[in-house]
Structure 1
């Protein structure tokens, strides 16, 4: 984490406002050319491409970190059949239909989602599109997020993880303290 924090603290390769920037400031900074690279999910790709145009935008897989490893997580779009559903058979038929190749391809393409099935992800509409190719190239080393089973993990990441990281960026807490405190948050909320 110190290596990453030092991009801001020592090397000054990020805008000075980074510790307090919210999502909108990051998006607008990218659009104005103040921020040239950031890490996010495929859901923001089209908006970003709109700022710089199709020729000026591409996604790339995460680079190797200092430990010569990288991690990329993928998440489920959580198509769910509820226990209390009144028409479980109809819902199951719909889910089964939606998981067939062509309906799943259209579902993902229409909603801007990345397909989890390799046979669909390898199609040119995903693998050759500069907006999506970086994500598709990440699939071989991606793992399912370990947090999917915990409904509130994303909220804890935003409400407690981001402020801890911001404090570490400006030197109020050490990288170790940031990680230790966030581990406590996750342990408490994921037990």
Structure 2
């Protein structure tokens, strides 16, 4: 991470931007996963709706595509040490953790659906994605010696980014595919 006169502000604002972009990439990955099986639909900022019934294989791969793309981006960021690697890893960790909370509170989300389709139950795939993204972030956090200010700025940034994509979903136009 680069040093600036206001690193807290930079982390806060960058977390918002990366949080929104990563969420859109996540949803677009679901959309592209469905498209590879010839299924159309529409994508919002927080949901993908499919036009047709999908085969179990198509549904599995469309479900895997969202969290799978996030984990692949996290692994690439850690390996390549991009400028905002720590923020990317934090965003992926928080995003997958929030998906687990959504499953616990409201019903199966991506990893839970994947686990159910594979006969593993709701939580093992979450354990893998949250655990892996958490380990990648923890390693980066320690390597960069980021401290509590980074965590606070990141938390506040995600506290803006997540509501933005959730509340924008029913308001903004959808992308048809």
Counting helix residues as a fraction of each chain, which structure ranks higher? Answer: 2
Tell me, yes or no, whether TM beats 0.5: no
TM-score (norm 2): 0.28
The structure number with the bigger radius of gyration is 1
Q: Which has the higher contact order (CA 8 A, sep 6+)?
A: 2
